[in-house]
Homo-oligomer: A and B are copies of this chain.
Amino acid sequence: MLTEIPYAKKQLAEEKVFKDPVHRYVHVRDQLIWDLIKTREFQRLRRIKQLGTLYLAFHSAEHTRFNHSLGVYEIVRRMTENFKEHGEWSGEYRLLALASALLHDLGHGPFSHCFEKIFHTDHEEYTRKIILGNTDVNKVLKRVSPEFPREVAQVIDQTHENKLIISMISSQIDADRMDYLQRDSYYTGVSYGMFDMERILRVMRPSKEEVIIKESGMHAVEDYLMSRYQMYWQVYFHPVSRGGEVLLNLALKRAKHLYEHGHEFKQAPKYFIPFFEEDVSVDDYLRLDEMVVNFYLQEWINEDDEILSDLANRFVNRELFKYLPFDGSYITQSELEDLFKSAGIDPEYYFFSDSFSDLPYDYDRPGAKNNRKPIHLQRDSGELREISSQSAIINSITGVHRMESKLYYPKEKILEIEDLEIKGEIINILNQLA
């Protein structure tokens, strides 16, 4: 009588590899991982860009979340290979770590940030729903065991009891960040996101509570944290990219408003309706990828509503708003909005104040603004030390919170204001802000 190999142990007859520009190759040996990659929910990530509107600022940033998800999986795979040689790693959680890494972004939708603001969806919630719902991913995960989907969901939403695995995927130095910094750096062509991941992987050690770093790896972590800081300010917060988000935001807001007020769309926005009504099933959610969003934005250019048509056209054809530094000190936002209104420009759709901030490294300590877990260094004696107590550089940036704000507005509309006095006043104010 043949004993069947349990699914969790099934290996592919021959290792599959994906050629990857960042990690050279992504290696797959487990049947489970192979089957997950083939599901339609995972394939859908090919239709969601990793960096949303950033391609408007860095034309070459066109890679998708599929691309990134394979990368995070590969980094966790390498971690588990390295951990084998160390005591605290039993191996039984290996597959859980790999599957969670692969699926950690499964619930991301198109241009997540805008969508979440306008439609009050939450990609983390949908990640959980896709994993636990009636989906191909769920079916594949269940082949391991009936509880396996829930375990994967718990690792991803950080409620699982195994804190080590959570920290491999979500912490201040995790596989997610290590992949995206390098990957986004590679695709944008900037060098800032590069750091010595090989070295960091070599000095990572599993402990009960978290991944810790051998003391000799301190400088590599410093470099990683600085890379992260640079990528935020030089790439992720690029005002041109945020200008694209602003337009998308306003266009979606307008479309929702029109829907709510009974506007007759030439092309009924059927896939948007659940979002407008804020009653979005998993299927509705999965359906709305970037192809579909772009299709409708192109349709909306031809809608009769002037505002929607203009905003959609601006987004599709990259006719962005101008931006200026704006912190409300010279003139408040509401004062400026009133001026716009009096000039016949609707600030609801033609004015946007955008703020963003970053905290390069911090941890839960008296006076800290968050409750993040620290990065721990391990001395040869085994003793753990929080990293900023050892590194002058990290100490100097710990808790440094930097914030910037920008004002977005349509320059063309300002130039067309008919009331010359108001026009002059607005132009004068904008010049002061510059």
Residues of A near any B CB (own CB < 8 A): 17-22, 24-25, 38, 40, 43, 46-47, 55, 58-60, 62-64, 66-67, 70, 186-192, 194-196, 198, 202, 219, 222-223, 226, 229-230, 233-234, 287, 289-292, 294-295, 298, 316-318, 360, 392-393, 396-397, 400, 402
18 contacts across the A-B interface (CB closer than 8 A): A20-B59, A24-B189, A40-B316, A40-B317, A43-B317, A46-B55, A46-B62, A62-B62, A62-B63, A191-B223, A219-B230, A219-B233, A222-B230, A287-B298, A291-B295, A291-B298, A292-B298, A295-B295
Q: Which of B40, B67, B196, B298 contacts A59 (CB 8 A)?
A: B67
A369, chain B: closest CB distance, angstroms = 15
Docked-complex contact A60 and B59, CB < 8 angstroms: no
Instruction: Report B-chain residues with C-beta under 8 Å of the C-beta of A317.
Output: 40, 43
Cβ-defined contact, A21 with B62, below 8 A: no
A21-B186, A67-B62, A222-B230 known; A38+B202 contact, CB < 8 A: no
**A316 CA / B291 CA spacing, docked (Å):** 11
A246 to chain B, nearest CB (A): 18
Would A194 and B196 count as touching, CB distance under 8 A? no
Decide: A59 near B195, CB < 8 A? Known: A219-B230, A230-B223, A318-B43: no
Specify which chain B residues have a CB less than 8 angstroms from the CB of A233 in the assembled complex.
219
- Contact between B194 and A60, CB atoms less than 8 A apart: no
Closest B residue to A69 by beta carbon equals B59
Cα A219 to Cα B232 with chains together (Å): 11
The distance in angstroms between the C-alpha atoms of A277 and B277, with both chains bound, is 38
A293 and chain B: residue at smallest CB distance: B291
| A-side interface mostly | helix
Q: How far is the CB of A276 from chain B (nearest CB, A)?
A: 19
Contacts of A59 in B (CB 8 A): 18, 20, 46, 66-67, 70
Enumerate chain B residues within 8 angstroms of A62, measured Cβ to Cβ.
46, 62-64, 67
Whether the pair B20, A393 counts as a contact (CB closer than 8 A) is: no
Whole-angstrom distance between the Cβ of A145 and the nearest chain B Cβ: 26
- The answer, among B20, B55, B219, B397, for a CB contact under 8 Å with A60, is B20
CB within 8 Å for A191 and B196 given contacts A230-B222, A397-B393: yes
Residues of chain B with a CB closer than 8 A to A196's CB: 190-192
Residue of B20, B188, B318 near A38 (CB, 8 A) is B318
Q: With both chains docked as a complex, state the minimum distance between the C-beta of A360 and any C-beta of chain B, in angstroms.
A: 8
CB distance from A213 to the nearest CB of B (A): 15
A188 to B21, Cβ gap below 8 A? Answer: yes
Residue of B nearest to A46 (CB): B55
**Closest CB in chain B relative to A106 CB, distance in Å:** 15
Cα(A17)–Cα(B203), bound, Å: 12
Residue on B with the closest CB to A198?
B24
Contact yes or no, A60 B188, CB < 8 A: no
List of B residues within 8 angstroms of A298 by Cβ? 287, 289, 291-292
| A392 CB contacts on chain B under 8 angstroms | 397, 400, 402
Whether A223 touches B223, Cβ cut-off 8 Å, given contacts A19-B188, A67-B59, A295-B295, is: no
Q: How far is the CA of A195 from the CA of B230 in the complex (A)?
A: 11
Q: Which of B43, B66, B226 contacts A223 (CB 8 A)?
A: B226
Contact with A291, one of B20, B202, B294 (Cβ below 8 angstroms): B294
User: Which residue in chain B gives the minimum CB-CB distance to A233?
Assistant: B219
Q: Which 4 A-B pairs have the closest CB atoms?
A: A21-B189, A396-B396, A291-B294, A295-B295
Report how far A114 CA is from B271 CA in the complex, Å: 28
Q: In the complex, what residues of B have CB within 8 A of residue A318's CB?
A: 38, 43
A170–B59 CA distance with the chains assembled, in angstroms: 24
Pick the contact of A400: B195, B223, B292, B396 (CB < 8 A).
B396
CA gap between A25 and B64 in the complex, in Å: 23
Residues of B within 8 A of A219 (CB): 192, 230, 233-234
Query: With contacts A191-B195, A223-B226 known, what are 18 further pairs, Cβ within 8 A?
Result: A18-B59, A20-B60, A20-B189, A22-B189, A24-B198, A40-B317, A46-B55, A191-B196, A192-B196, A223-B230, A229-B393, A291-B294, A291-B298, A292-B295, A360-B393, A392-B400, A393-B397, A393-B400
